[in-house]
Structure 1
Amino acid sequence: MKKILKYTLPALMAFMVQGAFAQTHQLEKLWETDTVVRIPESVLPDFKKKILYVSEIEGNPSAVDGKGGVAKIGLDGKIIDLNFTTGLNSPKGLGRVEDQLCAADLSEVVVIDIKTGKVINKIPVDSAKMLNDITVDSKGIVYVSDSKTKKIHRIEKGQVTTFLTNVNGVNGLKAINDDLYILGGPKFMKADSKGNLTQITTLSCGGDGLEPVGNGDFLITCGSGHIFYVTADGKIETLLDSEAQKMNTADLGYDTVNHILYVPTFFGKKVAAYKLITR
């Protein structure tokens, strides 16, 4: 979800340090949709079916208004169905457990039949105010962040527990093996299975989405319109700065085989695709 954060001293220092490393990656734009996607926040690819599932907020990002949903877009950018799932409130992060989609929808995780788009279950998260990103580990355990309460919750077999608390600005999550990678404001961190945190690096803005490149490195977005390449040891390259154009870059999807990023632009109401090029 888009956030506006003031730079802290560590963030400013990180921004200055970025220029000290040689730029070895860049983006080539492949396509973008028209402005028809209703406030897209998250993209979840299904490469076998050549489909992008895209959460659509539609109305106020904090409103319980029933205007939100999930769209289907082709890997080529062609619109398949903007109303695949309807009747949600403000869906943000998307995850998948077998043949079910999971959508973070303010105070509950909505479970959707991936074949029909129909809602089949809703899992309320006690005291949740702004559920944001979702990730699913290899065991089918769901992790979901709550940006307003600063918590990360864990859902296993429909049962909700709290995994971490007091994570300032918590947003993007990615489960890899036994670790959970976390974006908390400008901080990029890793938590082990017991919740012990290790900071990897500090961004120049509040992190939104993150996807592993496949070699220990990550692609990270900020809602301010930035896309970064972050190495395993915390070095940062700026791949895109579209802040002046007000193109908010939200929770991206990534194709590790073809090296393509799929980026929702939030209030820009588009989804864009970029090729990651290594020089």
Structure 2
Amino acid sequence: MKRFINSLVAASVVSISLTATSVNAAEQQPLWQLDGLNQPESVLAEPNGKVLYISNINGQPAEKNKKGYISRATTDGKIIDKHWVDGLDAPKGMAISQDHLYVADMQTLHVIRLKDGKIVKRYQVNEAKMLNDVTVGDSGEIYISDLLGGGIYRLSSGRLDAWFSHEKLPHPNGVLWSQGALYVANWGEGMNADFSTQVPGTLYRLDIEKKELKPVPTGYELGNLDGIVANGNNLYVSDWITGEIYELTEKERRKVLHVKAGLADIGGSANGVVYAPMMMDNSVVAWQMP
């Protein structure tokens, strides 16, 4: 049955236009580049569109060294406060809810007050292996992926619990709440020591009421997926290892950017700008999507 389902999904993808058209970074000029960071993993644009939050691992991705930090920058690439919040381990994905910034950091979810950068609460998840990305549902629930542990956690009514796991999500990375559903970017299946995988990762849509996991046809076996950004009805998804960004529509996927390896958890704005954390280059680059 499992083989039949995989074959059925693959057949549905064949009927979708998967264009080879791509935009190379050498051909497209960035809007700006911000250097001097320390392994930036995630970029998040504040809802008002004026401030960017940047998580800096500043060490190994799974190292607990208390050297990780959060930076603030303007949306035109100027640093406001490089070390806005210090003393973290290996901070990665972030989300904003009710004037607070939620940050995934190994086995901890930090809650940071936006007005002054104070950590007001920490949720400890001892059974997690590497909390990775964060998103907020319409009702205020916080969803957090565990890249190495293979599950989704949910913070609701002050309780943080293991909420969802599935055999097709061994390494969930990027998560995004959009149009009433939770999108989950799986890194891939059969992870090797160098983080490459035997099977490319697929983008899934998760119905939270029914807890039904379905592949997005245009995101089927797409790559080693990291960040997800919504732009209207379209999605942009980044591939960490190849350094590619894909635009996914209902019936088409298109490579819109190819930069370098280490393209991590992208952020986005309402006007189609994507903020790309280049983790290996210690920089964040802004690109206008076509």
TM-score band by shorter chain is 0.7 to 0.9
Cα deviation, 1:206-252, whole Å, max 9, x if unaligned, reads 110001111x210000112111111123x221112224xx4x21111
Distance 2:57 2:18 in 1: 38
What secondary structure is seen at the aligned counterpart in 2 of 1:268? coil
Alpha-carbon distance change, 236 to 140 in structure 1, aligned in 2, over 3 angstroms: same
Return the offset for 1:19: 8.2
Unaligned runs of 5+ in 2: 1-6, 188-200
1:260 correspondence with 2:279: no
Counting only pairs closer than 5 Å after superposition, residues 1-279 of structure 1 correspond to structure 2 as 21=19, 23=21, 28-34=29-35, 36-48=36-48, 50-166=50-166, 167-185=169-187, 186-193=201-208, 194-200=210-216, 201-214=219-232, 216-224=233-241, 225-233=243-251, 235-243=252-260, 246=261, 248-256=262-270, 258-277=271-290
Distance 1:101 1:68 in 2: 15
Return the offset for 1:204: 3.7
What secondary structure is seen at the aligned counterpart in 1 of 2:31? strand
Aligned length: 261
Structure 2 contact 51–75 (Cα < 8 Å) conserved: yes
Distance 2:95 2:165 in 1: 21
Return the offset for 1:161: 2.1
Unaligned runs of 5+ in 1: 1-8
Aligned to 2:196: none
Structure 1 contact 151–170 (Cα < 8 Å) conserved: yes
Deviates more, 1:165-174 or 1:141-150: 165-174
Distance 1:16 1:144 in 2: 32
Deviates more, 1:18-27 or 1:189-198: 18-27
Return the offset for 1:48: 2.4
TM-score (norm. length: structure 1) = 0.86
The amino acid that maps onto 1:251 is D
- Runs of 4+ aligned structure 1 residues displaced above 3 Å come to 12-20, 22-28
Distance 1:268 1:117 in 2: 26
Alpha-carbon distance change, 14 to 219 in structure 1, aligned in 2, over 3 angstroms: farther
Return the offset for 1:119: 1.0
Distance 1:76 1:106 in 2: 30
The amino acid that maps onto 1:178 is G
Distance 1:17 1:209 in 2: 26
Distance 1:222 1:162 in 2: 26
TM-score (norm. length: structure 2) = 0.83
What secondary structure is seen at the aligned counterpart in 2 of 1:175? strand
C-alpha root-mean-square deviation of aligned residues, in Å?
2.6
Distance 1:175 1:196 in 2: 15
Distance 1:268 1:163 in 2: 35
Structure 1 contact 211–220 (Cα < 8 Å) conserved: yes
Return the offset for 1:21: 2.8
Distance 1:191 1:25 in 2: 30
Distance 1:93 1:20 in 2: 29
Distance 1:15 1:28 in 2: 32
Distance 1:268 1:78 in 2: 17
